[in-house]
Amino acid sequence: MSRPKTITIFLKDSDSPNGIKIADLSDSIARVYILPRVELAYARTRPDLNTPAVYMLFDDERTNIYIGECENFNKRVIDHEAKKLFWQWAVVSIATGAGLDKAEVKFLESHAVTL
């Protein structure tokens, strides 16, 4: 029998459903950020985004997707801001607490690409 879970979604700007969202799953180390490209300045204030991550970059229509992994999302996204012009949204998956190592994020990226 499956056990119920609670997903908590924090809306940074409660007046805008298209703003930053942070989702946490109860009893889990998983955290997901949904970040509009125009809000990357906020992402840089988040120390947990200076950790290994698996991320996806989307355009507004979600027809173009880039899947990547990194050791530090805030550093990696600087390059994407300059070189990948198509994207408007980033979905960033991290682990709270002890976090993920490079091998784990590479595995998760590989799995995401095959989906």
Q: What's the pLDDT score for residue 96?
A: 87
Task: Please state, for a pLDDT cut of 70, what percent of the chain lies above it.
Answer: 99
Nearest to 91 by CA among 77, 79, 104: 77
Rounded CA-CA distance 55/73 in Å is 8
Rounded CA-CA distance 103/76 in Å is 17
pLDDT interval class at 3 (50, 70, 90): confident
Rounded CA-CA distance 48/8 in Å is 17
- Provide the β-strand partners of residue 89: 36, 58
Mean predicted confidence (pLDDT) in 25-36: 91
Q: What's the pLDDT score for residue 83?
A: 93
Mean predicted confidence (pLDDT) in 88-98: 91
Output 53 or 104, whichever has higher pLDDT: 53
As to burial, measured by CB atoms within 10 angstroms (0-12 exposed, 13-18 middle, 19+ buried), residue 55 is buried
Residue 45 structure tokens: 């204030």
